[in-house]
Amino acid sequence: MDQRPIGVFDSGLGGLTALRELRRILPREDLIYFGDTGRVPYGTKGRETILRYARQDVAFLRSFDLKAIVVACGTVSANALAELTAENDLPIFGVVEAAAQAAVRAASNGRVGLIGTSASIRSGAYEREIAKLDSAVAVTSRACPLFVPLVENGRFRPGDKVVELVVEEYLAPVKAAEVDALVLGCTHYPLLADAIGAFMGPGVALIDTGAVCAGHAAQTLGESGLLAERDRGFCRYFVSDSTQDFARLASVFLGETVRDSVERVEIEKY
């Protein structure tokens, strides 16, 4: 039993996909969420900048007495997880390994699609992890740099013509490869799942990286005896930019009001 909270971070809204799943499967856990909304997106940055941002995010979260951190960001997981793990003395979970495992299980025809930020695709991290699991699986990857700004601006609802146009532009070559599993390699992308699924068709399994990472973290913490025992956990939200904008969009996505619990952080101090 461990009553300490779990920290979760992302460049913005995307990590709420992992947070939502953690709250569903671990309702007794206290959760601390940080969205680096002042510096989003990470996926267009160079690796050294991503690593610097990630270290600051972790330093802020570690100002709380945490038992684990979930890196609910595909870009950070693909580019900086090894350094973060080596530099910290608590469990740190990224999205790449769990997503790769889910993709290989779902790829009955041996063809996997992968979409992510430019930095994630450039890193090759997902492809390397998939190859370790099954070298026969063919991966068709595509960077989708406009997806994060769309989501951060609330453009993710079904029927949005701009979203549908961008989805078609990015995913046409992935669909042409006849994949039967598609890794949503950024935790922002599940917010676009309706539009992505409609374009790809019903035979393609969409791998929600945030959700599978949350499941992996929950299983590992449970096996290590680190889960909390309380009636119900709380959730605190921190951002590096406007609390009102984050609260408005997060409330839509989570289906509950979070306005009173969002606080702003000067992340550059960490």
CB atoms within 10 A of CB 223: 9
Catalytic residue status for 73: yes
Task: Determine the Cα–Cα distance for residues 198 and 192; give it in Å rounded to an integer.
Answer: 10
Task: Determine the Cα–Cα distance for residues 81 and 33; give it in Å rounded to an integer.
Answer: 18
Among the listed residues 221, 232, 237, the one whose alpha carbon sits nearest the alpha carbon of residue 24: 232
Residue 87 near residue 59, CB atoms below 8 Å: no
- Angle in degrees, 0-180, between the axes of helices 74-87 and 47-61, rounded to the nearest 10: 60
User: Which one of 144, 186, 213, 235 is the catalytic residue?
Assistant: 186
- Angle in degrees, 0-180, between the axes of helices 209-223 and 16-25, rounded to the nearest 10: 40
Whole-Å CA distances, 133 to 103, 110, 137, 193, 218: 10, 12, 9, 26, 22
User: Looking up tokens 């969002």, which residue turns up?
Assistant: 262
Catalytic residue status for 186: yes
Task: Determine the Cα–Cα distance for residues 161 and 246; give it in Å rounded to an integer.
Answer: 23
Among the listed residues 136, 88, 105, the one whose alpha carbon sits nearest the alpha carbon of residue 215: 105
Residue 72 near residue 187, CB atoms below 8 Å: yes
Active-site residue set? 73, 186
